[in-house]
Amino acid sequence: MGINEAIAIRMKELAHERYVTLNEIIRRGNINQSTISEIMRAKSKHPRVSTIQKFCKGCNISMKDFFDSPLFDDLSDE
């Protein structure tokens, strides 16, 4: 799995764990809807760190918490 796919899966996981929709996290983090949509559809090849940071703000977690997942343990070079 590549980093972009892992990021999209992690975003979905975090929303599910909090019993909220991605749209709610997007609203809380003040993120552009199209930005997250591109990440989810694998159209965004290089998600910005600032986007992940805003997503974390919407989840009320740190960047460390975001990347603290087995999803990021063995990534391919995709």
Tell me the average pLDDT across 16-30. Answer: 95
Q: Which residues contact 47 (CB under 8 A, 6 or more apart)?
A: 4, 7, 39
Tell me the pLDDT tens digit for each residue of 28-71. Answer: 999 999 999 999 998 887 889 999 999 999 999 999 999 999 99
Q: Where do we find the tokens 């975001």?
A: 66
CATH of the domain at 25: 1.10.260.40
- Domain carrying residue 14: 3-71
Burial level of 32, CB count in 10 A (0-12/13-18/19+)?
A: exposed
Residue 76 lies in a domain: no
Domains of the chain: total: 1
